[in-house]
Amino acid sequence: MPLAYLLRRVAFMIFVVWSAITLLFFLPRLSPINPVRERFAELQRSTGWAPRDLERLVKVYEVKFGLNKPLHEQYVDYMSSLLRGDLGYSIMRYPRTVGDLIAQALPWTIGLLSVTTLLTFGIGTGIGALAAWPRSPQWVKGLVTPLVVLAAIPPYLLGLLLIYFIAFRAKLLPMGGAYTLGRFTGPELSFPFLLDVARHAILPALSLILSTVGFWALGMRGMGVTVQGEDYVTFAEHKGLSLRRIFYAYYVRNAILPQVTALALAFGSIVSSGILVEYLYGFPGLGSLLNAAILANDFFVIYGIGLITILAVAVSMMVVDLLYPLLDPRIRYTRA
């Protein structure tokens, strides 16, 4: 791989990340909600402070978080602390740092979403490939339609149905959370704990899988229909290759290329794609954290999670760009 190409590609990625962070910095500031005031207003209602004391407290905290300075100075401050790797403090949950909150939530999200993303990719692509293959049995071809219908239902609605029927009525699985709170004081590395986590993860995973597998199947079937009519597939059959070999090396291998791009993008949006489902199931991942942060307009937590999302998308797109020539020899490294 030419070094110049790699450098250009990395420079482009840095530019993308910087522009996204900048946009993200100004976006929550358009909201009239002052996170500091939000935090203390409730305290004031319950303790009955004088409004004057509240104003003073807000002032002190605004100075502490640097919110009293002009916006462009805050931007410079934020960017320079970012470069030092400092994500700042959460306003709502001061003195906890944003880095600390994210580190606690991230493993849950990555654990749930990476498994569901890989599963949906595998199942959906497999069904789509079989659906477009002329020798598949009829029932496999008919599988795509119900999956597409499921894909039209938003995952949180599907999640509600699953909670109602499987968790609430049938009581087969827990209704929410990541593990049984009474049984375990915190995450630990033991078999009963992992089993408990898996039981809690089934329903959120199922709502994510059922609501996205149709898209993968549809995409793969579309490519498969094109590829199975190509001359090289026919010629492979003329060569007397086994159907198995034709299926994998001359059909799936060619039809899967766009799916791989989509998979990388799905991995990039892993952080954000499960937000509603996580919230619905009370799953302690980034989605729940982001939801709480947005409600309170907790700038620095929003920035921190946004940064991770942006980085994940940008990095995975760069990885696809760099790996694609290995998958498709017709693509070469030329311009960034």
Partner 1 sequence: MTLQESPVLRVRDLRVTYYTDAGRVTAVNGVSFDLAAGERLGLVGESGCGKSTLALALMRMIKPPGRIESGSAVVRTEHGEMDLLALDEESMRKARLSVISYIPQGAMNALNPVLRVGQQMLDALQAHAPHLSRAEMRARAEAALASVELPKDVFDRYPHELSGGMKQRVCIAIGILLSPRVIIADEPTSALDVVVQRQVMETLQRVQEQLGAALILIGHDMGLMAQVTHRVAVMYAGQFVEVSPVQAMFTQPLHPYTQALIQSLPRLDNRGVFRSLPGVAPSLLRLPSGCVFHPRCAQVMEVCRREPPPAVHTADARFVLCHLYGDDENVAPRATLTTSPQEVRR
* Cβ proximity of 121 and 323 under 8 Å: no
Measure the CA–CA gap between 259 and 231, rounded to whole angstroms: 22
What the block records as the tokens of 167 is: 């968790």
Contact 130, 140 (CB under 8 A): yes
Is position 236 an interface residue for partner 1 (rule: CB under 8 A)?
A: yes
Tokens of 203: 């329903």
Range in contact with partner 1 (rule: CB under 8 A) among 16-24, 60-68, 138-146, 224-232: 224-232
Q: Does 245 bind partner 1 (CB under 8 A)?
A: yes
260 is a contact residue toward partner 1 (CB under 8 A): no
Considering only 34, 44, 254, 261, the residue that binds partner 1 (CB under 8 A) is: 254
Of 70-78, 191-199, 249-257, 298-306, the segment contacting partner 1 by CB under 8 A is 249-257
Q: Distance (Å, rounded) from C-alpha 234 to C-alpha 182?
A: 62
Check whether the bond before 95 is cis (ω within 30° of 0).
yes
Told to check if 234 binds partner 1 by CB under 8 A, we report yes
Q: Please report whether residue 323 would count as binding partner 1 according to CB under 8 A.
A: no
Residues 25 and 47: their CA atoms lie apart, in Å, by: 34
Residues whose CB is less than 8 angstroms from the CB of residue 6 and which lie 6 or more positions away in sequence, other chains included: 322
Task: Give the nearest distance from C-beta 124 to partner 1 in angstroms.
Answer: 21
Mapped onto helix, strand or coil, the DSSP state of residue 43 is helix
Between 26 and 235, name the residue whose CB sits nearer to partner 1: 235
183 or 244: CB nearest partner 1 = 244
> What x-and-dash track marks residues 90-129 binding partner 1 by CB under 8 A?
----------------------------------------
**In the chain, what's the furthest Cα-to-Cα distance?**
88
Interface with partner 1 by CB under 8 A: which residues? Answer: 134, 230-232, 234-242, 245, 249-250, 253-254, 257, 327-330
